[in-house]
Amino acid sequence: MAASLANGGLCPLSGDQVLSPAAARSMLSMMQVAGMKDYSTTFHFKTSIPAASSSHGSLLAVVPGVLGLMAFSPELDACGNPWRAVHFCQELVSVFQLHSFDIRTPFRQILAYRQWKSESEVSSDPRPVQLSVHRIIVVSQKPSVLCRDTRS
């Protein structure tokens, strides 16, 4: 689902339109403003990517046009978000410079080149591109405070 949202509602594996582009845009907008509970504005400030978390430890994050990911971490922070998954997303955005206000980054130049190359080549194979799936395991120490508990 994350990859389909990142691809405007088009499933990258099957090539099927699973969501209309308008529905995908609306869903990403809602994820952006309310997907991370009380931590939504801070997460948006730090990463600029739409994300939604559950109280069971899962986090779905999307970098539109680039990637979609699902992370799991059973331990929750004070806001009820999986803290390891939140930290992973923040590090991912930082390392690969995926923040929407990172201008002219090498990663974005590579993506632009790949898009240009794929558009310039004429392919006779109408099947979607096969994606590789990697399982990433992150082990880290709990940061002191990711989200302040404002309920007290």
- Of 85 and 131, the structure prediction assigns the larger pLDDT to 85
Q: Looking at residues 128-136, what average pLDDT do you find?
A: 46
Task: Look at residue 26 in the predicted model and tell me its pLDDT.
Answer: 96
Amino acid present at 19? L
List the chain domain ranges. 1-101+130-140
Amino acid present at 93? V
Reply yes or no on whether the pLDDT at 54 is more than 80.
Answer: yes
Task: Look at residue 130 in the predicted model and tell me its pLDDT.
Answer: 44
3-class secondary-structure state, position 17: strand
Q: Per DSSP, what are the bridge partners of residue 51?
A: 61
Task: Look at residue 23 in the predicted model and tell me its pLDDT.
Answer: 96
CATH class of the 1-101+130-140 domain in this structure: alpha beta
Task: Look at residue 107 in the predicted model and tell me its pLDDT.
Answer: 62
pLDDT in tens, 5-23: 999 999 988 999 999 999 9
Between the CA atoms of 141, 146, 151 and 152, what dihedral angle is there, to the nearest 10 degrees? Answer: 60
| CB within 8 Å of 58: residues ≥ 6 apart | 70, 71, 72, 82, 85
Q: List the one residue out of 20, 28, 140 whose CA is nearest residue 90.
A: 140
pLDDT in tens, 70-120: 999 999 999 999 999 999 999 999 888 888 887 655 666 666 766 766 776
Residue with tokens 């096969």: 130
Reply yes or no on whether the pLDDT at 135 is more than 60.
Answer: no
pTM: 0.68
Q: Which residues of 40-68 are buried (b: 16+ CB within 10 A; e: fewer)?
A: beebbeebebbbbbeeebebbbbbbeebb
Q: List the one residue out of 26, 8, 104 whose CA is nearest residue 64.
A: 8
Task: Look at residue 108 in the predicted model and tell me its pLDDT.
Answer: 63
Task: Look at residue 69 in the predicted model and tell me its pLDDT.
Answer: 94
